[in-house]
């Protein structure tokens, strides 16, 4: 391993190379004071360089554990982990089916669609559903709702939360088979209190907030879903430099993926659609361009099919591309057919 690959500043790297320290092994035998003298830097700085070097060399030869390369995981372990992974229900059994049981934790899911199709609705629904307690088959987590457009409606969240509580108490009554009213132990007030709402007013704030998520979630461990509604808005208005936009966006996507992995939570990005002129006709496509479409693990497109709202899995490493109808009712997202309750109970 070369010195060039160490996370050091350009001057330090230059000094190391010009003093003849080109490989890690040459650094491993040097003491801090030697290094300080050779490089004409302070002892403290030299110590720091050695620290960095020893850290990366250790990760280089970590053979003690079962992993061959540090940070890697073999496929079998991953399978095991995936099967124990919890998912967040969308409240529509058909939609859950094509999603393999719901929105999966540890992954970034992008949801796009035309105006008025129900993107924000789905976002609110998920923010409520993540709080379904474990004894009702949920995660019992909290939600972060990042609103870039100002479209979050508290009144609507209250409606959805109340409907969700009703459904839960019915569900648990069904499980226990006794007719006395069962208390879920959750009130719509609690549900609203567990939604952390951030209002983002510029793309700088959006980047800052994504950076800050790491710290925020460390302090609030039970956050299980992060919803950004929408990822697009500020990036569509304020940017002239498209190369910069791509760079900033992909940096953000990487950070979100990291957050999803580290805290095993679901990240849901809502995206807008745009018209694209291809092969002589206009087509709908999700906004932010082609390079962005690589950034998300899963991509779901919501669209009108005749008179029905449908969801289509556009991209996913593990799911078959399929589509399923759903509907937006006053109680939230539900199956397209009216017998949703029965399906859910089985």
Nearer to other proteins, 171 or 209 (CB): 209
Q: Does residue 224 bind other proteins (CB under 8 A)? A: no
Instruction: Using alpha carbons, select from 65, 214, 194 the residue that is nearest to residue 128.
Output: 194
Shortest distance, position 176 Cβ to other proteins, whole Å = 30
Taking CB under 8 A as the rule, does residue 121 contact other proteins?
A: yes
The string of DSSP codes covering 241-252 is -HHHHHHHHHHH
CA 165 to chain centre: 26
The interface mask with other proteins, positions 7-26, x = CB under 8 A, is xxxxxx--------------
Nearby residues of 250 by Cβ (< 8 Å), 6 or more positions away: 291, 292, 295
Least distance (Å) between residue 224 CB and other proteins: 16
Site membership for other proteins, residue 182 (CB under 8 A): no
Beta strands in the chain (DSSP E): 87-88, 103-104, 108-113, 142-147, 195-199, 223-229, 266-271, 273-278, 281-286, 298-305, 308-315, 323-329, 332-335
For other proteins, the binding residue among 312, 319, 341, 343 (CB under 8 A) is 312
Binding-site member from 105, 186, 209, 253 for other proteins (CB under 8 A) = 209
Out of 15, 309, 334, 344, name the contact with other proteins by CB under 8 A. 309
Q: Give the nearer residue to other proteins in terms of CB position, either 73 or 275.
A: 275
String of DSSP letters for 20-75: T--BHHHHHT--HHHHHHHHT--HHHHHHHHHHHHHHHHHHT--SSS-SSTT---H
Close Cβ partners of 76 (under 8 Å, ≥ 6 residues apart): none
Among 80, 176, 199, 221, binds other proteins (CB under 8 A): 199
Find the binder of other proteins among 171, 233, 263, 326 (CB under 8 A).
233
User: Which segment (93-101, 164-172, 257-265, 280-288) binds other proteins by CB under 8 A?
Assistant: 280-288
* Residue 251 makes contact with other proteins by CB under 8 A: yes
Q: Which is nearer to other proteins, 173 or 236 (CB)?
A: 236
* 198 lies in the site for other proteins, by CB under 8 A: yes
Nearer to other proteins, 20 or 280 (CB): 280
Cβ 163 to other proteins shortest distance, Å: 13
Closer Cβ to other proteins, 171 or 235, answer by number:
235
330 binds other proteins (CB under 8 A): yes
3-class DSSP state of 273 = strand
By CB under 8 A, the count of residues binding other proteins is 86
Q: In angstroms, rounded to a whole number, what is the distance separating the alpha carbons of residues 78 and 293?
A: 25
Q: Is the C-alpha dihedral spanning 229, 234, 237, 240 positive or negative?
A: negative
Cβ distance 54 to 29 under 8 Å? no
């Amino acid at each position: 391993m070369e010195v060039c690959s160490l996370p050091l500043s350009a001057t330090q790297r230059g000094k190391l190379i010009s003093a003849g320290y080109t490989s890690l092994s040459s650094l491993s035998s040097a003491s801090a004071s030697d290094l300080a003298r050779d490089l004409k830097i302070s002892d403290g700085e030299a110590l720091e360089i050695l620290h960095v070097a020893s850290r990366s060399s250790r990760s280089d030869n970590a053979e003690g554990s079962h992993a061959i390369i540090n940070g890697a995981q073999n496929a079998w372990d991953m399978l095991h982990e995936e099967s124990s992974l919890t998912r967040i229900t969308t409240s529509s059994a058909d939609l859950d089916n094509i999603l393999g049981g719901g929105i999966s934790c540890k992954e970034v899911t992008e949801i796009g669609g035309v105006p008025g199709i129900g993107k924000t609705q789905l976002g609110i629904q998920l923010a409520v559903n993540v709080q379904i307690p474990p004894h009702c088959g949920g995660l019992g987590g909290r939600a972060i709702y990042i609103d870039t457009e100002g479209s979050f409606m508290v009144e609507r969240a209250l409606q959805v939360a109340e409907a969700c509580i009703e459904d839960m108490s019915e569900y648990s009554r069904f499980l226990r088979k006794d007719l006395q009213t069962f208390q879920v132990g959750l009130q719509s007030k609690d549900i609203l209190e567990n939604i952390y709402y951030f209002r983002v007013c510029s793309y700088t704030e959006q980047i800052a907030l994504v950076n800050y998520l790491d710290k925020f979630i460390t302090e609030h461990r039970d956050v299980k879903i992060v919803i950004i509604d929408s990822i697009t808005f500020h990036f569509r208005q304020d940017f002239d430099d498209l190369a910069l936009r791509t760079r900033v966006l992909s940096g953000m996507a990487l950070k979100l993926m990291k957050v999803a992995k580290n805290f095993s939570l679901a990240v849901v990005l809502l995206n807008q659609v745009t018209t694209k002129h291809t092969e002589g006709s206009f087509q709908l496509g999700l906004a932010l361009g082609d390079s962005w479409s690589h950034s998300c693990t899963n991509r779901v497109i919501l669209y009108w099919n005749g008179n029905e709202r449908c969801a289509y899995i556009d991209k996913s490493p593990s799911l078959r591309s399929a589509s399923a109808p759903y509907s937006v009712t006053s109680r939230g997202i539900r199956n397209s057919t009216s017998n949703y309750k029965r399906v859910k109970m089985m």
